[in-house]
Amino acid sequence: MRHAQVYRWQIPMDAGVVLRERRLKTRDGLLVQLRQGDAEGWGEISPLPGFSEETLEQAQTAVLAWANAWRDGGNPDLPQLPSAAFGLSCALAELHDELPQAADYRAAPLCTGDPDELFAVLEAMPGEKVAKVKVGLWEAVRDGMVVNLLLEAIPDLQLRLDANRAWTPLKAQQFAKYVDPQYRPRIAFIEEPCRTRNDSRAFAQQTGIAIAWDESLREADFTFTAEPGVKAVVIKPTLTGSLQKVREQVAAAHAQGITAVISSSIESSLGLTQLARIAAWLTPDTLPGLDTLNLMQAQLIRRWPNSQLPCLSCESLDPLV
């Protein structure tokens, strides 16, 4: 006998989470639960507004149709919508015991505002010190000074930066000018500094600061190709598609000598713990970008280790089937 349930959930966000110039007040998504015999598998489907091409309503229609067909004994193809394909493929992988349990719960701490908050977190961080700082939200000069300050204060720190394509070539140069050349090698990479890929490539060549592709992975003409200055790709499974597609992208990056960083699309704690398992499995040598749980006010079903946030159980969710 097969059972399939789909739950809809909503979690209030911390005040002040802004995505693509829009305030995100709540995070909304679906959970799918598949059961067959004694086996059970869960998956999360939560398209990210401003980043996902599909809406939650579209994903919900696709997930419900898939879940009904599966429950009735079929073997339906995964939906095309990336968030739906990802969540359903995770539920199937858990059901068939194909998603290893070991997880990488280290996360590169994310700093979107005050660098002082980062100091305390980094002091307490064991092992490799890697943090991610959002840039491009303020003046490029301020960003440059913050980066300098952090790298100067913490000698074993490596920084990942993310500009989300905010800069013109001129602004990107203004930023680089403020970062002491001796610290530039400790910028592990900056994600998508400029509006176009060519401008970002030129920035890497001119400044010696390595770059990473994130938004570019969702563009039709993108290929995984080794290029000077391109150090990493950021793979966000909710925006990518099935677990199979995620594995293919990680393998394509590794084959070109490019670092693959498994990263959050602001999933709930259930989705984040699965991403931590995917990272431990597919990218064991790379710290994943998963420090987004604290943007939310609650966890869902499965807890992230040591998080103090309250955890909602499935009894508090609306079943849709």
Binding string to ligand 164 for residues 116 to 135, with x set by CB under 6 A, is what?
----------------x---
Q: Tell me how far, at minimum, the Cβ of 59 lies from ligand 164, in Å.
A: 17
246 binds ligand 164, rule: CB under 6 A: no
156 touches 131 (CB < 8 A)? no
190 binds ligand 164, rule: CB under 6 A: no
Q: Is 162 annotated as a binding residue?
A: yes
Out of 44, 54, 143, 214, the residue judged to bind ligand 164 by CB under 6 A = 214
Q: Tell me how far, at minimum, the Cβ of 43 lies from ligand 164, in Å.
A: 19
214 binds Mg ion, rule: CB under 5 A: yes
Query: Please, which of residues 35-74 interact with ligand 164 by CB under 6 A?
Result: 51
Q: Tell me how far, at minimum, the Cβ of 120 lies from ligand 164, in Å.
A: 18
The answer to whether the Cα torsion of 30, 36, 37, 41 is positive or negative is: negative
Round to whole Å and give the CA distance between 190 and 132: 9
Query: Please, which of residues 150-169 interact with ligand 164 by CB under 6 A?
Result: 162, 164
Catalytic residue list contains 25 = no
Q: Tell me how far, at minimum, the Cβ of 214 lies from ligand 164, in Å.
A: 5
Nearest Cα to 261, choosing from 277, 294, 243, 284? 284
Can you name the residues that pair with 119 across neighbouring β-strands?
none
Query: Helix crossing, 243-255 with 82-95: angle to 10°?
Result: 100
- Spot the catalytic one: 129, 132, 171, 236: 236
**Residue 94 near which of Mg ion, ligand 164, none (CB within 5-8 Å, type-dependent):** none
Q: Is 214 annotated as a binding residue?
A: yes
Binding string to Mg ion for residues 180 to 209, with x set by CB under 5 A, is what?
-----------x------------------
Catalytic residue list contains 132 = no
Can you name the residues that pair with 279 across neighbouring β-strands?
none
128 touches 287 (CB < 8 A)? yes
Out of 33, 265, 283, 299, the residue judged to bind ligand 164 by CB under 6 A = 265
Round to whole Å and give the CA distance between 302 and 276: 12
Taking residue 12's Cβ as centre, other Cβ atoms within 10 Å add up to: 11
314 touches 302 (CB < 8 A)? no
How far apart are the two ends of the chain, measured CA to CA in Å? 16
Can you name the residues that pair with 9 across neighbouring β-strands?
29
Out of 104, 162, 267, 291, the residue judged to bind Mg ion by CB under 5 A = 162
Nearest to ligand 164 of 94, 214 (CB atom): 214
Round to whole Å and give the CA distance between 14 and 298: 10
**Residue 207 near which of Mg ion, ligand 164, none (CB within 5-8 Å, type-dependent):** none
Which ranges in the chain belong to alpha helices (H)? Answer: 56-71, 82-95, 115-123, 140-153, 169-178, 197-207, 237-240, 243-255, 269-282
| Beta pairing class for 2-12 and 318-319 | antiparallel
**Residue 224 near which of Mg ion, ligand 164, none (CB within 5-8 Å, type-dependent):** none
Binding site for ligand 164 (CB under 6 A): 19, 51, 108, 110, 132, 162, 164, 214, 234, 263-266, 289, 291-292
Q: Binding-site residues for Mg(2+), please?
A: 162, 191, 214
The catalytic residue positions are 134, 236
